[in-house]
Amino acid sequence: MSQLADLKGFVSYALDCTRFRLVRDEADLENEELVFAPEMAHQIFGESESIFGYRDLKIEIMASAGPLDLYFDISYTKKVEELQTEGLKADDVEKSLADMVENGSYYTNLDEFKRVYASKAATFRPLGTKVDEFKFPAADGKGEEAPGTRTFEVYVASAEDSDYMAFHSRLEMFSFWYIDGFSRVEIDPLWQFFTVYERYAADNNNASGAENGTNVRYATVGYVSVYQYYSYPNKVRPRISQILILPPFQKLGIATRLIKHTTYEYFRKKDNVTDITFEEPIEAIQHIRSVVDAKRCKELAAFAPDKLIAGFSKEMLHEARERFLINPKQCRVVYEILRLGVTDTDNEEQYRAYRVEVKKRLNMNYSRHRRDLARAKKRGVDVTAAMCGLPSVAERIESLNAEYKEVEEIYGQVLAKLLASDA
């Protein structure tokens, strides 16, 4: 029992012992203000996100700010093998980290890492074609920039660009820690990547040196991956797959910019794009997307208040797609958001009509499944087991009411953002 108790001290929680740092110059190696933590580790160390075999384990992951050359430092005070415990081995932490990086392109020697980032910092330049530039905070109404204004650039590259993909494999390392269900993209010419970089001067700020090209440096911020699916008969349907903004650059409106402006403007100018879709966006991304799309559609004639109250229409589908490349599923969400905004919730008849229409959409798959089973039963198919697996009508009503409340709450948050932006 005492031996088992001893072993508990050799279990580390990956999120507690792992730290990241982006390095722009040598002083950053010791700057604790630059440290940031991972959000998840189950894709690296398993569902428990625990690491066995080390006492006082520390994992330091550093990356050169621009090219993202990686340095792994794994330290501990004692390893489980030292206890001479038969049959138990410590987890191979370095192998788990190395598996995230293609071609083993990382360093474990700090002096070597220093030489590499020092030699590349001045010459690193974004890969691909520049498609956007913006500043944070944005200039005021007079076009004047606030002190400390930062400059960001976005470049698009294809998976066919081998130099970019070598760089992207290092950027993807961070995705394992911040994108749930992440998997590497396969080399396919239909993949495109919009990568964001911060442009700064060698003294780490956007002084005139960065603006006029003297001592200019670039730091990698994040990326959006887009796959261009075929759309009958001769078009493509870009699907935004992954969005990653590294923690030091979050809350600067960068993800919103990429959704609202960069990717939209890039594909809007092409004449072979049907619409833009998203691959199972996380809640935060879907929220940004809904705010952006609702603000745009609010100005369209098809979404006038009287037409919203009248119900969802083909006119809405057509205008949303033609003007803003919004796909039908998202158009329906935008309609429900804007209709809630013009619905008098104190008017029971009007409010009930709205709730019923939203619930019909939420219940669509359940209703379709019941109809399919009923048809199969008429054809003589034994559907007893399948019917038993369905919730009862009372259970479904209770579940549907809960789903609706959640949806209305989210829609209310979007409407609040729209009101704030109009103020």
φ, ψ (nearest 5 deg) of residue 240: -75, 120
Beta-carbon neighbour count of residue 116 at 10 Å?
17
C-alpha span between 16 and 270 (Å, rounded): 46
Q: Read off the tokens for 263.
A: 């990717």
3-state secondary structure (DSSP) of residue 392: coil
| Residue 408: active-site member | no
Provide CB contacts within 8 A for 41, sequence distance 6+: 14, 15, 18, 49, 177
Q: Choose the catalytic residue: 279, 315, 398, 406.
A: 279
Give the relative orientation of helices 348-362 and 393-422 as an angle to the nearest 10 degrees: 110
C-alpha span between 34 and 36 (Å, rounded): 7
Residue 44 vs residues 68, 199, 204: alpha-carbon distances, Å? 19, 32, 32
Under 8 Å between Cβ of 61 and 247: no
- Closest to 217 measured CA to CA, from 34, 69, 65, 114: 65
Active-site residue numbers?
279
